[in-house]
Structures are given as C-alpha cells and as structure tokens.
Amino acid sequence: YCAAFCTPDVLRSSYLLTVGENLLRGIDVLWTGPKVVSHTISVQSIEEVSSVLRRAPVIWDNIHANDYDPQRIFLGPYKHRPTDLIPKLRGVLTNPNCEFYSNFVAIHTLATWCKASPKEGPRVVETAGEEETDPCYSPQKALTLALTDWLQEFMSTDQPGGSRRPALLEQESSDEEPMQMDVSESPYCPGPGENPLYTAEPLTLDDLKLLSDLFYLPYEYGGIARSMLEELHWLKIHRQAAAEQTDKTEEWRSKARQFDSRCEDVVQMFNRLSNAPNRSILYDLYNYICDIKSGVGLARAYVKMLGGQGQPSALVMSEDPEPWGFRGGLSGEIQRMLPGHGNRDLFKHPPTTPVYFMRAYCDKDKTQVQKIWEEMLRGGKEQSPLMLQLPLISDCLSSGQISPSPECAFVLEDELGTCGYALALTDAKAVAAGIKVLV
C-alpha cells in the first residue's frame, strides 16, 4: 500500500485506521512510500503512517523495479532514503529488476545503506554536481564501491566455482577406438591480409560507471547521460550554426565533437562488455545495452548530418525505412498518440506540425519580401539569373516598386523568420495603367 491510495490522506484514511486498530500486533505491514515507485521516502512520511498503523512499517521498495517498462533497467544506487529512517522501520524489502544478475548494484548499495550508522555530526557530502545531506551515507560513494566489486564478477567465468575450470570427468573404458586425428597438418595461421588473433580489451570501472549512468534510476539520469541529452538538445536547436557561418559555429562544432566522443565511449563500453568472461551477467544486460547503443548511433549519425559530415539518413528521408526506426512497436506507437506522451522528458519536444504566425506587412519587411521574390524567380537557386518577363502588378508589389494597400498586406513567419507574404491593392486600375505606360 502507499500514500497515493489513501483517501483523503494517510492520517485520515479509513482503511489504514481500520488496519491499525484490528490487525494483530505481530503482523507487519508492507509500505511502498508516497507512491508505488517512490522517488523519495522521508522520515516525516514514515512517522505519519506508523502513527496510523500503530506499528513501524516494512518498506517494500520499488526504486529498482523495472517490471512496468521492458525497455528500462536500473543500475543506480539506493538513493533518496535518509539513514534516519533505519530505526523507524521494521525492515526494508527491495523489489529489484526482473533480471537476476543485474541486481548487484541495487542490493550492494542497499546493504551499504543498511550498515550506515550516525557516528559523526551532520556534514554535507558533495558528489558530482549534487549535494547529499545524509551524514552517514553517500549514494555516489556507495555506487563506486558496488561497481568496483561488480567488476570482479564480470571478470570471473560464470561456471560453478568462479574462475576454476570444471573438473574433467573420468573416462570409462570402452572398446571404441578414439577418433583419428591427423597431426601432420599444421594449425591454421592467418594469411598476410588477415587480422591476427583478436584480443578483447578488458572491461574497466569507467565502463561500468558509464553503464550505470545510462541506466540510473526511475526519476533521474546519471551525470553522463544527462550531459548527452543536454548536448544533443543544444546541437539540435542551434543547428542553423552548422549550416552557415555565425558566432556560434565554432561552439557548435566543439559540442558536436564532444557529443561524438561520448557516443564513441558508449560503443566501446558495449564492445568490452560483450567480451566479458561472465556471460550470465552479459545475457541479462544485452538487450538493454544493444538498444541504447542503437539509439546513440542514430543520434550520432543525425548530428554528423547536421554538421555536413554525412548524407541524410535513409531512416529519416525514406518513405519505406527499415523496421528499427519504429521504436517500441505497437506499444510505442500508441504512446506517441496519447497527449501526455513525453511530458516527463528532460526536454519538451515541440509538435512536428509546423506552426506559422501571420501578421500585417510593414516597411521593414520590404527587404525580406524582395529576397523571397527573387529566390522564386531563380527557382530556388541562388546563382541562377533572374527570369525576365513582362512586369506584372504582383512583381512590382514584391520588388517594392509600388506599395500595397495596408489592409491587403500580410507576411507569414515560421521559427526562422519571414517565409511568405501576400500583397494586394484595393484599386489596381490606376497602377495597371501606370505599368503599361512604363512598358
């Protein structure tokens, strides 16, 4: 049960009051916190529910649970639960990821949290851009300890007994002759154009820190993952700087190189993780790391295309793209149709339907209107000569030779500026006569 289910609140919930009055004292109550998957669990909230239940609850913690989203796994530390909760609880029961071997960090950091005891006075522990006010427990330090120990698990084989090889079975006597082996043939050697024996690079602690950042916690991304999102967002909204020389062009290119480097780190982490000796852990993680590698690869190609380093992706341009462009299948398509889709994203994405603004024409629009008119005459090609033709009233209006009637002149704007116009005259007869005289 959780506070979100209580009507009107925890202290006045008839259900909790009934449970507190009638449930035998030896029976414990499981409590998930403010919500089913709680971001934070405060001391005050536990004191409230304890007073109503007349006993300390057992926390059923879903902070690392991933059964509600098959595309997410949580490898961040046990967090946002102050150690002051420990003496006020009957216990903590964690409900972690569905995949068994992926829960090393969740259980390890929870154990570190449980062993914490207030031996020092209050202090502030600064960690990677955030502040932890718990005097006894630092999630970032607990995460580093967990990942250091987890790295040893990755480096051991998944055979019983760790890195020891399984004992050879005794051969039973048999009348069968052993298979004939031709030892005269030399073993295979790579040819002059072939790659020699491949030696995989070992997995590193930095790889596991990156992995944890990419799959952190339900309500937050790790530091590197958040930086990647911020960089991609900045590169996307300032993409005009990549197309033409502006004061932000060099900054855009620098951020693009940095983003590309981070993407390469993800690829290399994937490669080293794929070659880890412990295949059981890898198999539990593989679908997730393969999915994030694919998503990062698409973003990387998109940024390179914006920077003029590659052709437009066939996935973006083609009317019949490959199926990996439809992320999430039917479930993903349904979610994208719903109005609330993406409202919890780090960055809000504007609707794909272009939005235009129409306003009255004024004298300062004359230069931009003339530029659009000339582009249309050239057929959209800047270096093409202007197409000569007999002067029309519309040409004279567009070129600024004659002024439109104020009530019949409008311009159209998009996010980049003026993109269209409509100019007319309330009485064109006199103007038409004047044009004929000029001709």
CA 285 to CA 273: how far, in whole Å?
9
> 380's torsion region: left (phi>0), alpha (psi -120 to 50) or beta?
left
| Cis, bond preceding 166 (omega within 30 deg of 0) | no
412 sits in which H/E element = strand 409-414
Quick one: CA dihedral 25, 29, 33, 34, positive or negative? negative
pTM comes to 0.68
Domain 3-119: which CATH number of 3.40.50.970, 3.40.50.2300, 3.40.710.10, 3.20.20.80? 3.20.20.80
CA 59 to CA 61: how far, in whole Å?
6
* DSSP summary character for residue 3: G
- The residues, any chain, with a CB within 8 Å of residue 84's CB and separated by 6 or more, are 43, 118
| Domain range annotation of the chain | 3-119, 120-159+202-349, 357-438
Q: Which residue has the tokens 């994208």?
A: 336
CA 89 to CA 58: how far, in whole Å?
6
- The residues, any chain, with a CB within 8 Å of residue 185's CB and separated by 6 or more, are none
Which residues on adjacent β-strands are paired with residue 92?
59
Q: Do domains 3-119 and 120-159+202-349 have the same CATH topology?
A: no
Quick one: CA dihedral 373, 374, 375, 378, positive or negative? positive
- Going by DSSP bridges, is the β-strand pair 91-94/130-132 parallel, antiparallel, or unpaired? unpaired
Question: How do the pLDDT tens digits run along the chain, 439 residues long?
Answer: 999 999 999 999 999 999 999 999 999 999 999 999 999 999 999 999 999 999 999 999 999 999 999 889 999 999 999 999 999 999 999 999 999 999 999 999 999 999 986 654 444 344 444 455 678 899 999 999 999 999 999 998 866 554 444 334 344 444 555 445 444 444 445 455 555 545 568 999 999 999 999 999 999 999 999 999 999 999 988 888 877 777 788 898 999 999 999 999 999 999 999 999 999 999 999 999 999 999 999 899 889 888 876 555 544 556 666 666 666 777 777 777 776 656 556 555 555 567 788 888 988 888 898 888 888 877 655 555 555 555 678 888 888 888 888 888 999 888 778 889 998 888 888 777 776 544 4
- The residues, any chain, with a CB within 8 Å of residue 384's CB and separated by 6 or more, are 378
Q: Which residue has the tokens 């399984």?
A: 166
Domain 120-159+202-349: which CATH number of 3.40.47.10, 1.20.58.240, 3.90.1150.10, 2.30.30.30? 1.20.58.240
Question: Measured at the alpha carbon of residue 341, what is the angle toward residues 336 and 346, in degrees to the nearest 5?
Answer: 125
CB-based contact 346:229 (threshold 8 Å): yes
